[in-house]
Amino acid sequence: MMIPQYNKAFLWMTAPLAMVSSVFGEEEVDETKAGYEELIAGQGDTAYAFDFFATSMLWTVIAAAMVFIMHLGFATLEAGLTQKKNTVNILFKNVWIISIGLLTYAALGFNTHYPGEFNGFFSIGGPIGDLNADGGDTFGYGGTALAMTGYGDFIFQAMFAATAATIVSGAVAERIKLGFFMIYSTILVALGYTIAGSWHWGGGFLAGLDTPFKDFAGSTVVHGFGGAAALAAVIVLGPRAGKYTANGVKPILGHSMPLAAIGVFLLFFGWFGFNGGSVLSAAPGPLGLVFTTTALAAAAGGVASIITSMIVLKKPDLSMALNGLLAGLVSITAGADVVGPWGAVIMGAVGGVIVVFAILFFDKIKMDDPVGAISVHGVCGIWGTISLVFFATEGNDFSLVSQLIGVGAVYGFAFVFSLVLFLIGKAICGVRVSAEEEAEGLDIAEHGAPAYTD
Amino acid sequence: MMIPQYNKAFLWMTAPLAMVSSVFGEEEVDETKAGYEELIAGQGDTAYAFDFFATSMLWTVIAAAMVFIMHLGFATLEAGLTQKKNTVNILFKNVWIISIGLLTYAALGFNTHYPGEFNGFFSIGGPIGDLNADGGDTFGYGGTALAMTGYGDFIFQAMFAATAATIVSGAVAERIKLGFFMIYSTILVALGYTIAGSWHWGGGFLAGLDTPFKDFAGSTVVHGFGGAAALAAVIVLGPRAGKYTANGVKPILGHSMPLAAIGVFLLFFGWFGFNGGSVLSAAPGPLGLVFTTTALAAAAGGVASIITSMIVLKKPDLSMALNGLLAGLVSITAGADVVGPWGAVIMGAVGGVIVVFAILFFDKIKMDDPVGAISVHGVCGIWGTISLVFFATEGNDFSLVSQLIGVGAVYGFAFVFSLVLFLIGKAICGVRVSAEEEAEGLDIAEHGAPAYTD
Amino acid sequence: MMIPQYNKAFLWMTAPLAMVSSVFGEEEVDETKAGYEELIAGQGDTAYAFDFFATSMLWTVIAAAMVFIMHLGFATLEAGLTQKKNTVNILFKNVWIISIGLLTYAALGFNTHYPGEFNGFFSIGGPIGDLNADGGDTFGYGGTALAMTGYGDFIFQAMFAATAATIVSGAVAERIKLGFFMIYSTILVALGYTIAGSWHWGGGFLAGLDTPFKDFAGSTVVHGFGGAAALAAVIVLGPRAGKYTANGVKPILGHSMPLAAIGVFLLFFGWFGFNGGSVLSAAPGPLGLVFTTTALAAAAGGVASIITSMIVLKKPDLSMALNGLLAGLVSITAGADVVGPWGAVIMGAVGGVIVVFAILFFDKIKMDDPVGAISVHGVCGIWGTISLVFFATEGNDFSLVSQLIGVGAVYGFAFVFSLVLFLIGKAICGVRVSAEEEAEGLDIAEHGAPAYTD
């Protein structure tokens, strides 16, 4: 251990706090001292643990802010990978999703998601109350293993909730009717995601399996849910005009690769909050591991998709490279806390290979997904959730059967839930804009304003 | 409380640290142990509190970084909502503001802002010295309620300071003379903002009212100050050429809505530092509450302005949606720590409605504000500061009279201060570019270079 | 100290945690209590220090995430300051660099960088193992002066590693062959940077000088390394076609100044993690100082370069203003923890002046560096590393000779290492695209896809 230059820091830490009295008057110091003593006395045996709790809670809210910025990442990624004429529409949808997602999570999502005691399948909850009341502002809320206050728990989970709808947003871009999407996304976030989530994180039947279903931060529960819902949406909606022609697939290029790249890097950044925050405390051991596995899986996904696209597509494709980073991230999300660094590398790399073939596959079967959301979140979500069984380090035992049950339940539910909403929407008001509106672009057709001027 | 998957984390925490001795030689361990003992002994009764202090101080500097990124948010929002030909000018102004804002805050702002003992109205301060000296690097600086070091206090507040000028920057965009704006913004940040701030946070007369003026993180002191200063600026400056014609208002479209959206999302992100950091410690209860009220108010503002714009403007307007998010944020900033989640929702939602009508109103009276800064920061600042009296939760009692005094004093001062500077500028050097320069665009006219090439 | 509005926060902290028992059943509370007691008992005398460790480790991983986002900053800065037709190529290179940088740092970089005991010059390391094993997940890893776990150390340093290659990327933009750059950057990050780093941070010969070489967060070891490597690259590569004509220098304008500005602000933001994280703990005194000196140096660099460009270039140049911010940041990076606020201002301001003249100088000698990387990172790196000897506050004594030795060794090694790689590349496969490809743009020539559509 050679760290010669930090002796100063160490010295600082051991400096006597008594120096305080030299600055302030005697009276002030006494007052301050009394404050500390009261502070310590009030916490008795748990004085020490309070600090760990405060640190952990701080991490929770910072992680929430980092997950929030993922919504900007999703917005710019989706905007960048689609046509200029639909940019206002895409940004607007993303403002809506985060806004309504936070509100509905307060109104019914949180208490649907974490019902505590219920039949294990669903129990629709009511609005949150004062979550700081009744010990909710102390570590009485969740103990040392869920080291956050009630509001900390709420805001971190609320930021996750809107993600499911955001994933769908990318897949249905450039042709969905705005009004329908606003209603659809509201119901998906408020009810669909939270019910599926309650099965795992809310103490539902997936948590009650003999070997409980393992999904650390949500490869299946968040990303898989969004991907499966997106698939159902795309089936009902159909492809964008001109994508699949008699002469084969005609790529519709994204209008701004810098926007797409900004999106992916922000998602990568936010993922440290997404996975890291899912440690649910500031426990240093797991925290460092999760940051490391998350970053290495992303990196491996990026490199693998670059190499794969060079071989398969004969060119170094930027959008594949970007999706490779995301594929790696989704692939590690279920097991980030139970695999080692090299397990993470393999899981991410395989995800990076899978995503290239998945994107090509969905194009082959004419499922038009402008941003590759079904491949990235849906397909890699399955890979990540299942592969952790094989890559988990010693002492972490999971059941392949439980993982398959979890994937089957969540994906199946998300698909059906989304399909039903889309079919109802199609029957009542229509889910797709007219051919004229699609050709004109949704910015003018739906919003009456372009995203860019010249 | 079902949190089965985190047993591992808990086990980790209880693992005996004695294992250390198995890795390092005996001597090293003894040395390390001695280090800890010295560390603990040096802090005596306050050993425990030191940790809370360290955590709080960490939060302060992270929050400062988050507030810093708001300046990128302001820059891209302003650039996005204005014309292509003025983009370099806008970015340049924002580089200037943050740079000169930090420097003047060190040179005289900090000690003007927090004069400690003075007549309650103003006391211009000198440059900062070594803020780590004399207990400034311990919690002797501010105790447990201001749990940061002197430099922590400085850097967090310095990031706030430049905000006032940034708000004005948006309102005067596309027509102000660069040289004048550089001088104006310097004086506004260095003197105007800090004097007004000292009345509240520096122990001035607003803090000394019978029921002290309440403005948690600055709905009035920061945002209102900027909005009122902007109004005076716009009055002197006049509208952009071609905006108000004989045939009514001719909207001048922003040149890049993605830039505007990036700006608003970054502002939202940074606001968690702006409001959350204003807790002034890592106290878990207030921290979770503030994050929650901040997010919910923003969300409610977004949804409310979307619905309002759909009704009033007959279309889902993206710039209104974006301004709605900001309106919600400004509306909650004064009371984020004293209202509950649903109070925050109502306060934010009303802000989101107000902002739409305010923007229309200022256009009606021909006050040309390209980004809506006066409406967002000025008008919603008033709403947030006053409404907290009615939405504060039990036990938090505030005085409507005190709030009105605070609003009147700060807005009045900002308006007059800014007006005087603009009138002096107009008399001496002129504040507005020529009609030719305005038509050509400030990028070429002032900077000799375009923002984009083709 | 007037902080009337925070009494509530203080009261909260002293609230008896006993209230917990009123919410949960008796049994649950007992269980929770036992958990705390076990937790405290398991840590004995170091119970208190554990909290400081947890807080410090949290800061380390957050700082790592902030350094990560610098890679987005580098990518957008480089893309913004170059031509539209090379944007995909630039974004692609940056995805590659961060991905391969993380992977190679795990495979051999970390253990090359921190070899522990070696001959002081180089010792190539192997792959990382389970860094949480053998006390790596406790403060047994580095004690109180390196308060992080093994994985924390890894991920923070891994984010730094790719920076060196990113700096070169900017200097060689718009004309380098992609395939060669991918190989070059891999070797530079994996071996070049880590060997040079080991001399200083890995306990090598620079740390072993009588007065050890001082480079806090890497003015020389990171930025200087990148700048010197970039210079060698540019010498071999030659300037872009059309830049230096018979009629003098013909500026090639950047295609998007908003992208460039986003880049610089993100770099500024991330630098708080870069420098702040280099405190290697959450020690409040150093942390506040480092944030303050970092911000003030950047601000001074921005203002100084603005004034200098106004005088020298007769116009307020945005790209100079942006590079001035970066120049200030590089200038303070070596000494951020040992100078005072006004020392930082001077160091940053001089950096801001230097960078303008350096950029003009390199253009004069026909060293074509599209983003000014050699000037910003290379030249200001020298200034920052040397000037700290003169600006360090009392009690911090450094040796000019040691600083010169460090600069000479690292810059010399980086230059030669990079030169050799480029010469080998030139001999084997070529390092530069053809004149036709350069004219067409690398996006189409190398990637077959444009960055923008219309």
- Min Cα distance A358 → chain B (Å) is 29
Query: Which residues in chain A have their CB less than 8 angstroms from residue B58's CB?
Result: 58
Q: How confident is the model at residue C1 (pLDDT cuts 50, 70, 90)?
A: very low
* Residue keyed to tokens 């643990």: A49
In this predicted structure, what is the pLDDT of residue B15? 31
Helix (H, G, I), strand (E, B) or coil at A368: coil
CB contact under 8 A, B58 and C282: yes
ipTM value: 0.92
| Short-list C260, C239, C204, C224, CA closest to C90 | C260
Kindly report the three-state secondary structure assignment for every residue of chain C: CCCHHHHHHHHHHHCCHHHHHHHCCHHHHHHHHHHHHHHHHCCHHHHHHHHHHHHHHHHHHHHHHHHHHHHHHHHHHHHHCCCHHHHHHHHHHHHHHHHHHHHHHHHHHHHHHCCCCCCCCCCCCCCCCCCCCCCCCCCCCCCCCCCCCHHHHHHHHHHHHCHHHHHHHHHCCCCECHHHHHHHHHHHHHHHHHHHHHHHCCCCCCCCCCCCCCCCCCHHHHHHHHHHHHHHHHHHHCCCCCCEECCEECCCCCCEHHHHHHHHHHHHHHHHHHHHHHHCCCCHHHHHHHHHHHHHHHHHHHHHHHHHHHHHCCCCCHHHHHHHHHHHHHHHHCCCCCECHHHHHHHHHHHHHHHHHHHHHHHHCCCCCCCCHHHHHHHHHHHHHHHHHHHECCCCCCCHHHHHHHHHHHHHHHHHHHHHHHHHHHHHCCCECCHHHHHHCHHHHHHCCCCECC
Comparing CB atoms, the residue among C3, C49, C258 nearest residue B39 is C49
The pLDDT, as a whole number, for residue C157 is: 97
Per-residue pLDDT for A45 more than 60? no
Alpha carbon distance C164, C229 (integer Å): 8
Report the domain count for chain C.
1
Residue B8, pLDDT above cutoff 60:
no
Residue recorded with tokens 């993470």: A344
**Tokens, residue C108:** 């051999």
Q: How many Å apart are CA A454 and CA A433, to the nearest integer?
A: 27
**C13 found inside a domain:** no
Task: Average the pLDDT over C34-59 and give the result.
Answer: 69
Q: What is the overall mean pLDDT for chain C?
A: 90
Annotate A238-302 with DSSP letters as a single string. -PPTTSEETTEE-----SBHHHHHHHHHHHHHHHHHHHHGGG-S--HHHHHHHHHHHHHHHHHHH
> Considering only CB atoms, which chain C residues are within 8 Å of B52?
13
Within a domain: residue C92?
A: yes
Which residues of chain A neighbour B137 with C-beta distances below 8 Å?
Answer: 12, 15
Backbone torsions φ then ψ of C137, nearest 5 degrees: -100, 15
The reply to whether C30 falls in a domain is no
Q: Considering only CA atoms, which of A261, A349, A323 is closest in space to residue C94?
A: A261
Residue A100: what pLDDT?
A: 98
Task: Tell how strand C244-245 and strand B244-245 pair up.
Answer: unpaired
- Give residue C271's pLDDT: 98
Nearest alpha carbon to residue B86 among B252, B267, B317:
B252
Give the pLDDT of residue B47: 58
Query: What's the whole-number mean pLDDT along residues B383-403?
Result: 96
DSSP code for B15: S
Two tokens, residue C332:
């303070």
The dihedral formed by the CA atoms of B215, B221, B224 and B226, expressed in degrees to the nearest 10: -160
Cβ-Cβ contacts under 8 Å for A274 (sequence gap 6 or more)? A63, A66, A67, A70, A160, A217, A218, A333
A144: which chain C residues are within 8 Å (Cβ-Cβ)? 32, 35-36, 39
E strand segments, A20-116: none
Identify the pLDDT of residue A34: 53
DSSP B392: B
Relative to beta strand A248-249, strand B244-245 is: unpaired
CA-only gyration radius of chain C, Å: 24
**Segments forming the whole domain that contains residue B163:** 48-447
Are the C-beta atoms of B172 and B189 separated by less than 8 Å? no
Tens digits of residue pLDDT in B292-316: 999 999 999 999 999 999 999 999 9
Q: Do the Cβ atoms of B284 and A23 come within 8 Å?
A: no
Is C8 a residue whose pLDDT tops 60? no
Contact criterion met (CB below 8 Å) for B218 and B130: no
pLDDT of residue C137: 87
B273 Cα to chain A: minimum distance (Å): 9
Asked if residues B201 and B221 have their Cβ atoms less than 8 Å apart, the reply is yes
Q: Which helix (H) or strand (E) holds B245?
A: strand B244-245
CB contact under 8 A, A272 and C15: no
- pLDDT of amino acid A62: 98
- Is B9's pLDDT higher than 60? no
pLDDT of B203 above 80: yes
**Nearest chain B alpha carbon to A216:** B5
Q: Do C23 and A134 touch (CB under 8 A)?
A: yes
Q: What is the DSSP letter of B216?
A: S
User: Is A38 inside any structural domain?
Assistant: no
The whole-angstrom separation of Cα A330 and Cα C362 is: 45
Alpha-carbon dihedral sign for residues B143, B147, B153, B157: negative
Q: For residue B179, what are the contacts with CB-CB under 8 A and spacing of at least 6?
A: B429
Q: What is the Rg, in whole angstroms, of the alpha carbon atoms belonging to chain A?
A: 24
Tell me the nearest-neighbour CA distance from C249 into chain A, angstroms. Answer: 28
Q: Between C178-187 and C87-104, two packed helices, what is the crossing angle to 10 degrees?
A: 30
pTM: 0.93
* A418-441: pLDDT as tens digits: 999 999 999 999 999 999 999 999
Cβ-contact A169, A93 below 8 angstroms: yes
Structural domain includes residue C452: no
SS3 of residue B248 by DSSP: strand
pLDDT (average), residues B226-237: 98
Chain segment A249-279, per-residue pLDDT in tens: 999 999 999 999 999 999 999 999 999 999 9
Taking CB atoms and an 8 Å cutoff, what residues of chain C touch B155?
288, 291-292, 295
DSSP state of B190: I
* CATH code assigned at C442: 1.10.3430.10
Among candidates B9, B42, B393 on the partner chain, residue whose Cβ is nearest the Cβ of A16: B42
**How many angstroms separate the CA atoms of A155 and A102, rounded?**
8
Percent of chain A with pLDDT over 70: 89
Judge whether residue B42 has pLDDT over 90. Answer: no
* Amino acid at the residue C138: T
| Neighbouring C-alpha atoms within 13 Å toward the C-beta of B146 | 20
**Local confidence band at B4 (pLDDT 50, 70, 90 cut-offs):** very low
From B20, B281, B449, residue closest to C253, measured CB to CB: B449
Q: Residue B129 is encoded by which pair of tokens?
A: 């010295």
Query: In terms of Cα–Cα distance, which of A58, A283, C144 is closest to B43?
Result: C144
Residue A413 in any domain: the answer is: yes
Give, for A56, the enclosing helix (H) or strand (E): helix A47-80
Q: Which of B151, B181, B219 to mutate to test the interface with C (most CBs of C within 10 A)?
A: B151
Phi, psi of C248 (to 5 degrees): 105, -170
Mean pLDDT score of chain A, rounded to an integer?
90
Residues in A closer than 8 angstroms to C52, CB to CB, are 13
Rounded Cα gap, residues A182 and A159, in angstroms: 18
Q: Quick one: pLDDT band at residue B10, thresholds 50, 70, 90?
A: very low
Cβ–Cβ under 8 Å, residues A99 and B303? yes
Q: For residue A99, which residues of chain B lie inside 8 Å, CB to CB?
A: 298-300, 302-303, 306, 325
Neighbours of C428 (CB within 10 A): 10
Task: For residue B298, list chain A residues with Cβ-Cβ distance below 8 A.
Answer: 99, 102
Compute CA B104 distance to the chain's CA centroid, rounded to the nearest angstrom. 17
**Which residues, other chains included, contact A378 with Cβ-Cβ below 8 Å and sequence gap of 6+?**
A223, A224, A226, A227, A228, A230, A231, A411
Q: How many CA atoms lie within 13 A of C20 on its CB side?
A: 22
Q: Region C28-38: what's the mean pLDDT?
A: 49
User: For residue B272, what are its two tokens?
Assistant: 């968690």
State the pLDDT confidence band at C337, using cuts at 50, 70 and 90. very high
**Average pLDDT over chain B, rounded to whole?**
90
Q: Inter-chain contact B451–C257, Cβ cutoff 8 Å?
A: yes
Q: How far apart are CA A277 and CA B278, in angstroms?
A: 22
Determine the Cα–Cα distance for residues B265 and A204; give it in Å rounded to an integer. 34
Q: How far is CA C26 from CA A327, C22, C29, C33, C35, in A?
A: 46, 9, 5, 11, 14
Size of interface B-C (CB pairs under 8 A): 276
Q: Write the pLDDT tens digit of every residue in A210-244.
A: 999 999 999 999 999 999 999 999 999 999 999 99
**Of the partner residues C5, C284, C342, the one whose CB lies closest to the CB of residue B54:** C284
Stretch (H or E) spanning B249? strand B248-249
Q: Which of B13, B265, B284 sits opposite A144 (nearest CB)?
A: B13
- Work out the pLDDT band at A10, boundaries 50, 70, 90: very low
pLDDT the model gives residue B417? 98
Q: CB–CB of C99 and A52 under 8 A?
A: no
